[in-house]
Chains A and B, each alone.
Chain A
């Protein structure tokens, strides 16, 4: 077992109080596993990923443990954690394109970093060069300054530097977000290649883009409002999701080959709850079309089927063969509970109910991606 996270709680300090950005999260990542971690903006996925390597100023470790290769990671202790950074845990940050010091040559930046970790650049240089060419960068990149490279090239250079010491765990935070579709695929393939070549043992790929995860991830974990909602094999998540939130996420994705006119894309109505004052019970219940009284109790995140963990009463009952979770109201229509709930959740919001419409950029953070992803199918649908 490569990574094992138990009951991890990370708070995020804001001016309006502490936010439980990661709340009692438990999961494991096996050796050689690429785990996709997906969710809307604000779901805590990025906080979760970053907390495994570097708790930034506003982040605080509240509880829980993280074990890597059987040893505990001292994530709350900045200094003690330093020993593990880059060697055991590494990261390709969300801001990878601007992660390199603009006034330092890439080679000498790597030298400084390695020296600080107790290595010499000369020792890893051949390997460094091999990886540089693997990611498709010219050989002389080591003697270049970041501003001489394009954004995509800088990101690849960051990928290579981050993984130079063959870490056990690599966190790739939104590495595909700023790229166009073809580059997304290329970077995704590089990540799997890094895993296959043993540059990294296992990987957590954080993204809001389920389609890229479907391509590269072995397992997918869905996060919602600081909690894990569902984890299973990538194919299971895509084909047979159990959690209503996962289902909603997938139905908001355009399908390849589907004509735009045939099926209307839907966003998820309502907004994720504010984490400042968390409601008790299932956090998705205010947007969930199937919500029942039962959902006032918090559903446990448990393995319902082999290798398939879900935190949902409905899923749990269905797996056990219990019914009674029929869709409330007419099938296919936007659930009314969600919308009402969304309004209640946001006191003081200046926006009127109108802005809660699905598809509104304010209302669902998924919406922008939906329109991004649309490009391909629309192109097909419209000759």
Chain B
């Protein structure tokens, strides 16, 4: 490290997160690249990465990072809309409150649907389930990916081989196709099922990234030290390795969150979503089924997709901002 670097560089993540691949799969984190399996933490020798001055430094950069601030603000607005939306919606979302096909107007901000529902109220009501499924999907994918990645990376050997093969097989089976087949037999399911299914099919890239990182970290001195001091494996993984990947895990979760919401739109659009659900994807599905396209009811199907795009784009932008905050090499000065 050159002399003056020391004032500037306090990195935690080495490789850039968004390495490759459309968001929905993620792939970002390590994939297989040499660069990505490289250093996790230039300060990894220090056990607690976020302590004392570090935390302030993080905040210092966080509030000054435009991407993070803008992305997070937009996201918060949508989350708030999802929470308070149903209470402030001008009309009950599912009821037929007006004549059908009304253009947007002051009394119906986004017009009315084929059935005479108020599209704006419908939109507010739909945000909740989209967020819920996104969160569930991300949480399950995160938990499975972390568990498998940690175990494979920490234990190595035959267990690693088995888990990697398993991961590989999961990658090979296109999840939407699988869900279509399952959905043909399963007559009804819940938002919880959808979230779990998304989680169960999207964890592989997290597992790969976490495995690679764990592999690198477990060769570090501080891990040797922990091992010598008689700590047990799980405890080392959770208390010594995981904290050093905290920023990494947070960034991965954000990407998973966005991709889960997008995958859910695919499912809902094909009618594979929760049976009695109301989500942004369901709105698209209904608009498609009831000839919204042919009837030029653009206010029925354009807003839900636009809102979803903004929700996910805001997450992506915040994610890049956060990456820059964690990784000084990416900071613009």
Instruction: Check if A58 sits within 8 Å of B333, measured CB to CB.
Output: yes
Q: Does B52 contact A (CB under 8 A)?
A: yes
Instruction: Identify B333's interface contact among A15, A44, A45, A59, CB under 8 A.
Output: A15
Instruction: Check if A102 sits within 8 Å of B53, measured CB to CB.
Output: no
* Cβ contacts under 8 Å, B333 to chain A: 13-15, 58
Chain B, residue nearest A103 (CB):
B34
* Cβ contacts under 8 Å, B3 to chain A: 21, 41-47
Chain A, residue nearest B57 (CB):
A15
Q: Does B276 contact A (CB under 8 A)?
A: no
Total cross-chain contacts (CB, 8 A): 45
Q: Does A122 contact B (CB under 8 A)?
A: no
What is the CB-to-nearest-CB distance from B3 to chain A, in angstroms, rounded to a whole number? 4
Chain A stretch 1-46: residues in CB contact (< 8 A) with chain B: 12-16, 19, 21, 41-46
Instruction: Identify A58's interface contact among B1, B6, B8, B52, CB under 8 A.
Output: B8
Size range of the chain B interface in the assembly: 10 to 19
What is the CB-to-nearest-CB distance from B15 to chain A, in angstroms, rounded to a whole number? 14
Instruction: Check if B53 sits within 8 Å of A19, measured CB to CB.
Output: no
Instruction: Check if B52 sits within 8 Å of A14, measured CB to CB.
Output: no
Q: Does B4 contact A (CB under 8 A)?
A: yes
Q: Does B7 contact A (CB under 8 A)?
A: yes
Instruction: Check if A12 sits within 8 Å of B4, measured CB to CB.
Output: yes
* Cβ contacts under 8 Å, B6 to chain A: 41-42
Chain B stretch 267-288: residues in CB contact (< 8 A) with chain A: none
* Cβ contacts under 8 Å, B331 to chain A: 15
* Cβ contacts under 8 Å, A43 to chain B: 3
Q: Does A350 contact B (CB under 8 A)?
A: yes
What is the CB-to-nearest-CB distance from B10 to chain A, in angstroms, rounded to a whole number? 11
- Cα distance A349–B57 in the bound complex, in angstroms: 12
* Cβ contacts under 8 Å, B52 to chain A: 350
**Interface core residue of A41, A50, A59, A102 (most chain B CB under 10 Å):** A41
Instruction: Check if B34 sits within 8 Å of A42, measured CB to CB.
Output: no
Contact with A along B114-142 (1 / 0, CB 8 A): 00000000000000000000000000000
* Cβ contacts under 8 Å, A47 to chain B: 2-4
Chain A, residue nearest B35 (CB):
A102
**Interface core residue of A13, A15, A19, A59 (most chain B CB under 10 Å):** A15
Chain A stretch 331-352: residues in CB contact (< 8 A) with chain B: 349-350
In the assembled complex, 6 residue pairs joining A and B whose CB atoms fall closer than 8 Å, in A order, are A12-B4, A12-B7, A15-B8, A44-B4, A59-B4, A102-B34
> Residues of B at under 8 Å CB distance from A?
1-4, 6-8, 34, 52-53, 61, 331, 333
Given contacts A42-B4, A94-B2, 20 further A-B contacts (CB under 8 A): A12-B7, A13-B333, A14-B8, A15-B8, A16-B7, A19-B4, A41-B1, A41-B6, A42-B3, A43-B3, A44-B4, A45-B3, A47-B2, A47-B3, A47-B4, A50-B2, A58-B4, A173-B2, A349-B53, A350-B53
> Residues of A at under 8 Å CB distance from B?
12-16, 19, 21, 41-47, 50, 58-59, 94, 102, 173, 349-350
